[in-house]
Amino acid sequence: MNKVSIITVNYNQPEVTEEMLQSISWSTLISEIIVVDNGSSINQVPQWTTKYPKVTFIRSEENLGFAGGNNLGVSHSTGDYIFFVNNDTEFTENLVETLAEQLDKDPKIGMISPRINYYFDKLIVQYAGFTPMNYYTCQNRSIGKGEKHNVKQIAAVEPTGYVHGAAMMVRREAILKAGLMDEIFFLYYEEFDWCERIRKAGYKITICHQALIYHKESISVGKSSKLKEYYMNRNRLLFIRRNASSLQRNIFYGYFALLVAPRNIIRYLLSGRYEFVPVLWKAIKWNMRPLSSIKSI
């Protein structure tokens, strides 16, 4: 029987992480639960080790970002399938079993996400799949977002443009072929980039609508912060540089320079968030370096 390793990353949210751990029902399918403490200001690992003896806790003294924290967890994992979940999620019954069953059935599925509903309004969908990326604008859409979901009308498993980083189960074999998440992204777009690489390695990217997880969205970085604004802009540019064709890249650069950047600046000024203007410029300036000079894993 294929085993599942569950990996989550904590950063200064001990209560949130504990709530997630308490929502997991142990089963013979789960080989381990790994919590990576990603350089939190207070080290909870000694206390957690006593409180949760069945869980493996790993402490990083620095914040490695989303990709780096999860990659550290992978290096300590043993499962055939690895279930990456945000610490601000709540498991539902048979979540792990339902996803693993789909990977068992189809060895060409490299990544699969469950349907994600909002924790604070559990009938409303956050994610029911992603549309493919428009490389000319670097835009896609989260299918079903904000709607109520009628699962009975949808196939159990179907292809999707991308999995969702808040909850994604990945076949270890696919990771060995495509590599780990690239830590250069640090935060945002890393799972999109990872999907592209795993798809190129010959695997399918899917969603399972019968598996459900709840997500307390935006607890980690806040709905509007300089950190989020910087990495969303920086990595949007980086994603296109790494994954689009020359024609697509050049059209996107014009689109970003003539529409996205001016629109964002106007939005910052109208909302009184003047500090976001230099953050946008910093994100653009970072991408002026050649890709060959940007260190990857």
Give the dihedral sign, CA 103/106/109/115.
Answer: negative
User: pLDDT tens digits for 16-56?
Assistant: 999 999 999 988 999 999 999 999 999 999 999 999 999 99
Answer yes or no: is pLDDT of 291 > 90.
no
Spell 18-41 as b/e; 16+ CB within 10 A means b.
Answer: bbbbeebeeeeebbbbbbbbbbbe
State whether 242 and 287 are in the same domain. yes
Q: What is the pLDDT of residue 222?
A: 52
CB 9 within 8 A of CB 38: yes
- As given in the structure block, the two tokens for residue 237 are 């540019």
State whether 170 and 269 are in the same domain. no
In a domain, 278, yes or no: yes
Q: What is the pLDDT of residue 293?
A: 77
Residue 251 has φ and ψ, to the nearest 5°, of -65, -40
User: How many domains are there within the chain?
Assistant: 2
State whether 168 and 77 are in the same domain. yes
Give dist(CA 77, CA 274) in Å, integer.
44
In a domain, 220, yes or no: no
State whether 128 and 269 are in the same domain. no
Q: What is the pLDDT of residue 219?
A: 46
Which residues make Cβ contacts (< 8 Å) with residue 167, sequence separation at least 6? 83, 84, 85, 86, 89, 113, 114, 116, 213, 215
- HEC string of 104-159? HHCCCEEEEEEEEEECCCCCEEEECCECCCECCCCECCECCCCCECCHHHCCCEEE
Give dist(CA 81, CA 171) in Å, integer.
5
Which residues make Cβ contacts (< 8 Å) with residue 28, sequence separation at least 6? 1
User: pLDDT tens digits for 93-146?
Assistant: 999 999 999 999 999 999 999 999 999 989 999 999 999 999 999 999 999 888
State whether 232 and 211 are in the same domain. no
Going by C-alpha positions, the residue among 56, 215, 185, 49 that lies closest to residue 125 is 215
State whether 173 and 246 are in the same domain. no
- Which residue type, as a one-letter code, is found at position 92? T
Q: Which CATH number is 200's domain given? A: 3.90.550.10
Give the dihedral sign, CA 20/22/25/30.
Answer: positive
Going by C-alpha positions, the residue among 13, 9, 61, 12 that lies closest to residue 35 is 9
In a domain, 189, yes or no: yes
State whether 124 and 245 are in the same domain. no
Q: What is the mean pLDDT of residues 87-95?
A: 96
Report the length, in residues, of the chain.
297
What is the domain range of residue 45? Answer: 4-215
In a domain, 221, yes or no: no
